[in-house]
Structure 1
Amino acid sequence: MATQLYQMGTPVGICYEALCLERPNAVTAVHKSYLEAGASLLETNTFGANAHGLARYGLEGKVVEINRAAVRLARQVAGEQAYVAGTVGSVRGVRPAGPVRAELEAIYREQIEALLTEAPDALLFETFYDLDELEIALDVARSLTVLPSIAQLSLIDLGVTRDGVALSDAFARLYDHGASIVGLNCRFGPSDMLRVLEKANLRATDRISVFPNAGLLSVTDGAYHYASEPEYFGEIAQSFHAMGVRIIGGCCGTTPDHIRAMANAVAGRAPAPVKAGGNAAREGTDARRPRVAERSVLHSDDASAGELVHEKARHTHTVIVELDPPKDLSPNVFLEGARALHAAGADAVTLADNSLAVTRMSNMALGAMMKQMGVEPLLHMSCRDRNLIGQQSHLMGLHALGIRQVLAITGDPSRFGDFPGATSVFDVSSFDLIRMIKQLNDGRSFTGRALDECARFTVGAAFNPHVRHLDKAIRRLERKVEAGADFIMTQPIYDPEFFDVLADLTSHVNVPIFVGIMPLLSARNAEFLHNEVPGITLTDDVRKRMAEAGTGAHARSVGVEIARELVDAAMKRFRGIYLITPMMRYEMTVGLVEHVARTARNMDQAGSTPA
């Protein structure tokens, strides 16, 4: 439908489903062209006609009107010559996360009820990347109707869903949730879909549908094209028929000519039996079990890296120190600072990922250098700068380098940094990134493909306690822990009394919390942080003391003195201390690391270490 509307001159970027109301003649013209080509099943123009999808165009209030109109238009063309399937597309779509179950149920219920009002012959669920989401949609449909449901998955990697389920297992589960016919659509062309089915452990009782794309998409001079010719579709339709496929159709790029070629190729043929069994070497549980592989020679020995910060902080005081990567080309000063912090007793040195959207040296490169020096790096990973391809590639590189500790953060918007015209990506949120990193630990890529070994990442999450509604911030923190966060790192805190408040409010959180403390450089530095940097709030007392200290060495000594007082207060309630080095003045945090060690020894002797 979208391909044909585009070929008719409909611009990219508008809501194609809304054309059921705004240009009904264009929609019926597309239906008619496919009917005349030999189609015996027409899909309604409702792929994205749900509240979530329509909200992008401000049309979420038109869900019922658009879906009802779409069924009427398809029925008007189909008459007695073809069936009409009410089409329901995935809400999450290509993004690996989105609305949770309760939201999805409400979204699907509204759309399906609207479609059913106009009595389609079947429901067709298509382009679902996650099996669990398709199961939710089928559950809703089963609660509303006994009409046949065609349930089609889209695979990013051949043979396995994005949530890591082998295809034959996924088909079995779809039947359990009420599907009448199961199958595949989109993403791949006919050849790859045929290959997937040939390898799958299909059963003789399976009823299969296949709607491939017309090959790969290309763009020439701003125009979109698909590679596969209609004749090729006609030839491969015969192979699908021989496999036992019961419904053969087309997805992106398939024109009426493609459908005509397929219809002619299988005209007059009775359905063939399903070729059961397949030759899947990695189907079933094997598709989700990583192969045993020799460990990369670049991996550091786990034992040599020492105890990970989240493990150590469960039984003794542990220090993470942040040191900003340089804005210039030489890493020497940074590496000197990292070496000094490690010698002072820092358990890990953490490196921001272009914080405040200011361009700095790659923390991955610096982390690799630190590993060679014997200093344990903890790398921030921002959602801002890398799309999903880049995020997984980056993590695979970290794994190869033996860098195991990461902090998943959203990232500051690009427009506030030194390249305000740069694009912020934000394919996923920090919650999603945490879950996806943990998926690598399970031996599955972001797409669900089984990896040759499991990653071993420890994942931290950020927490900003300086908000008006602290209860909401605590709930957000809980969600990050539920997503898989192994430890928490807070924004810097400047109120010694607040450590007691925070400890009481987070006493139920079962992961270590590293409370942030950053020494101040001067009165101007204090006012800048308080008034201009998001997530940082200074007390009046701290601001007054820094104002009296002025600038220079004396001001820095007062800043360290305040930080020591904060460390003392924090250590009474928290084992995790997160020191933030200001402006590469690592001598300030070196002294604080040593102070933590001395204080910890004294607390141990006095028996006052936090429980």
Structure 2
Amino acid sequence: MKHRLIMDGSMGTYYSNLINLPGAFSETANLTTPKVIEQIHTEYILAGARMIRTNTFAANRAALKIDVKEQRLLVEAACRIAKNAVSEFTTDKNSHMIWIAGDVGPIVEDANSTWEEIFEEYKLLCDIFIDQGLHGIHFETFPSLKYIEELVPYIKERNKDMFILASFSLNKNGYSGAGISASRLMEKVGLIEGIDGCGFNCGVGSGHMYQIFKKVNFPDHKYIFAAPNAGYPEQMQNRMVFMDNEAYFAKNMRQIAELGTDLLGGCCGTTPAYMKAMIQNIDIDQPSNIRKKNQSQASGIETVEKPNDFYELFKSKKKVIAVELDPPYDANIDHILECAHILKNSKADIITFADSPLGRSRVDSILMSTKIAEETGLKVMPHVCCRDRNMISMRASLLGAYIHGIRNLLIVTGDPVPGDSRVSTTGVFDYNSIRLMEYVKEMNIEHFKTEPFYYGGALNHGRGSIEKVVARMKKKIDAGAKFFLTQPVYSIEDAERILRIKELVDTKILCGIMPLVSYRNANFIKNEFSGINVPDEIVNRYRPDMSKEEAELVGASIAREIMEFLEPVADGYYIMLPFNRVSLMEKIMG
């Protein structure tokens, strides 16, 4: 690429405005009304675009609710339409070269998605673009490099000349949806050989994009790309519309170009008129400006990470003790405060609080933790689950936890919403525990480098083969997990599984201990909780006519026996006290 290259603008919002159906998926038109899509490509080329992108941004199975066969037909059709549009302008040998890039947007994920499934779908899209003979692939509006960094070598191995462009969506503060700053994204891109161009698109208007570009140190030897939105949409007659502000957009894009940007286009709300106005304001004959500027020098001051008091306990010979309390269902916290004060004088090293377990609302685990820490001085560790908060709320909660002194977290996917509540209540599940861990890992790098969150994960040691359990643990460790808390253990078989896991994974494990406190409680846990194995011989040690004190003594005795045969494998114990019966601690620990 010898000169600045102007790309096209928005396909999706322009298409939905043309057919007067706000929010419609333009991708389905590849099969239903291909001439409409070809006409949009043509309009962008006539406006001056010299690179167009296939109409495939949301061409994934989850978004369009299609199967793999339908997906392939749709994407192949998009490639044909783009090539037909370009062919009309390349018959004259003096015409400018018009490039076609296969457009790949983020594939919709939820808590049940696996990395392998998503990666294979991305590979399929890339294979189609390569087989169709396109010039490049544009990974557009991504929150991170999670999949891109693995796809790049695959693409280059198949076609070393394929141009790869990676761009990321940012908010007004310059952070992606994964909590990664613009500067760090570019730093990461700079380390990946094979990415030819990089930059930002969507999320913000041209004014905010210019402010972000001024602050970012872009990587050397990569083409730099900018494609902001037309602005910010406003609601008019039940429709979200972008105001026509081509002149303002063009002015800002000229400033962005003058920073050394090589590829310029538009995202949501931009039309061929925006591209035309931009071209009139920018010297497109300016040579492309592969980065040559000096990178900022390190300050020479080494960042020293402050030790985490809880994690330091694992370095001692003693078994670390975490005790779980359930926050109340209402605003009466007298009892839980009393329980916490009792535990302060026990052998508990840290108190953990469940995050509305079983999908039943309780006092927020983070707020409960901060209250207990302030009142008692105990170390605390709230559970944070993915069920109830979207990405915006989760980030806000984590920042709030941090400024209130929380440094330890247990990150879990979370129990689903109970069946009887699903009509009126929906689980969010924007991500699962692994993706949330990756998010917190990035927050540690970006914001909390000197005193990061230390977080652990749940270990469902009895669910599936040991190989699968270990594989999931390793993913959590890669995502930053420092320790694991297991489900309650009641059998030698469970202890042996944990021992085998411990031999395969170098990590800290707190083994779950949950004393059963009655015959009814034992039967309930045995029959109602999946993933918890309560043998008949444990249940048979209880009688229906036992007193509360008798049953607690049996529960404590069983707990001590389990801890004894877990001794060789456990780095500590995760003690769950039914109904917050803190009196059990003395019976168990002595």
Tell me, yes or no, whether TM beats 0.5.
yes
Q: Tell me the secondary structure at the aligned position of residue 370 of structure 1.
A: helix
User: Once the two structures are superposed, what CA deviation does each residue of 1:309-360 show, in whole Å capped at 9, x if it has no partner?
Assistant: 5633752122211111111212111011111112022111111111111111
The 1:414/1:211 distance shift into structure 2, 3 A limit, reads same
For 2:401 and 2:301, locate their aligned partners in 1 and report how far apart those are by CA, in whole Å.
22
The 1:314/1:124 distance shift into structure 2, 3 A limit, reads same
Check the 8 A contact 1:519/1:580 in 2, yes or no.
Answer: yes
For 2:284 and 2:568, locate their aligned partners in 1 and report how far apart those are by CA, in whole Å.
79
Shift of 1:91: 4.0
User: Once the two structures are superposed, what CA deviation does each residue of 1:66-124 show, in whole Å capped at 9, x if it has no partner?
Assistant: 33322221232231267241323244689999865x77775454333423444445444
Aligned residue identity for 1:467? R
Matches within 5 A, 1:61-210: 61-78=69-86, 79-80=88-89, 83-91=98-106, 106-131=120-145, 133-145=147-159, 147=161, 149=163, 151-156=165-170, 166=184, 169=187, 172-173=190-191, 176-177=193-194, 179=196, 181-201=197-217, 207-210=223-226
Aligned residue identity for 2:529? V
In the alignment, which residue of structure 2 is the partner of 1:608? none
In the alignment, which residue of structure 1 is the partner of 2:15? 5
The 1:394/1:171 distance shift into structure 2, 3 A limit, reads closer
Aligned residue identity for 1:145? N
Higher mean C-alpha displacement, 350-359 vs 138-147: 138-147
Kindly indicate whether residue 330 of structure 2 is the aligned counterpart of residue 334 of structure 1: no
For 2:287 and 2:357, locate their aligned partners in 1 and report how far apart those are by CA, in whole Å.
60
Which segments of 5 or more consecutive residues in structure 1 lack a partner in the other structure? Answer: 294-301, 445-450, 596-611
Matches within 5 A, 1:346-361: 346-361=348-363
The 1:209/1:461 distance shift into structure 2, 3 A limit, reads closer
Shift of 1:235: 2.8
Check the 8 A contact 1:353/1:380 in 2, yes or no.
Answer: yes
Higher mean C-alpha displacement, 241-250 vs 153-162: 153-162
Higher mean C-alpha displacement, 380-389 vs 582-591: 582-591
Kindly indicate whether residue 590 of structure 2 is the aligned counterpart of residue 588 of structure 1: no
The 1:171/1:192 distance shift into structure 2, 3 A limit, reads farther
For 2:134 and 2:330, locate their aligned partners in 1 and report how far apart those are by CA, in whole Å.
64
In the alignment, which residue of structure 2 is the partner of 1:385? 388
Shift of 1:43: 2.0
Aligned residue identity for 1:519? P
Check the 8 A contact 2:104/2:125 in 1, yes or no.
Answer: no
Q: Tell me the secondary structure at the aligned position of residue 490 of structure 1.
A: strand
Q: Tell me the secondary structure at the aligned position of residue 540 of structure 2.
A: helix
In the alignment, which residue of structure 2 is the partner of 1:297? none
Aligned residue identity for 2:153? D
Kindly indicate whether residue 560 of structure 2 is the aligned counterpart of residue 543 of structure 1: no
Q: Tell me the secondary structure at the aligned position of residue 270 of structure 2.
A: coil
Q: Report how many aligned residue pairs link the two structures.
A: 568
For 2:185 and 2:297, locate their aligned partners in 1 and report how far apart those are by CA, in whole Å.
11
For 2:527 and 2:164, locate their aligned partners in 1 and report how far apart those are by CA, in whole Å.
57
Kindly indicate whether residue 40 of structure 2 is the aligned counterpart of residue 23 of structure 1: no
The 1:433/1:166 distance shift into structure 2, 3 A limit, reads closer
Shift of 1:554: 2.9
In the alignment, which residue of structure 2 is the partner of 1:503? 499
Q: Tell me the secondary structure at the aligned position of residue 212 of structure 1.
A: strand
Q: Tell me the secondary structure at the aligned position of residue 384 of structure 1.
A: coil
User: Once the two structures are superposed, what CA deviation does each residue of 1:10-52 show, in whole Å capped at 9, x if it has no partner?
Assistant: 7567653232122212212322333344434332212233xx5
Check the 8 A contact 2:322/2:574 in 1, yes or no.
Answer: yes
The 1:418/1:334 distance shift into structure 2, 3 A limit, reads farther
In the alignment, which residue of structure 2 is the partner of 1:270? 285
The 1:383/1:356 distance shift into structure 2, 3 A limit, reads same
Kindly indicate whether residue 39 of structure 2 is the aligned counterpart of residue 43 of structure 1: no
Higher mean C-alpha displacement, 116-125 vs 368-377: 116-125
Shift of 1:386: 1.5
For 1:361 and 1:186, locate their aligned partners in 2 and report how far apart those are by CA, in whole Å.
37
For 1:235 and 1:573, locate their aligned partners in 2 and report how far apart those are by CA, in whole Å.
65
User: Once the two structures are superposed, what CA deviation does each residue of 1:263-317 show, in whole Å capped at 9, x if it has no partner?
Assistant: 3434x86326749777x9xx75769999999xxxxxxxx89x9x41563375212
Q: Tell me the secondary structure at the aligned position of residue 436 of structure 2.
A: helix
Identity of aligned residues (%): 26
In the alignment, which residue of structure 1 is the partner of 2:457? 461
Shift of 1:466: 3.4
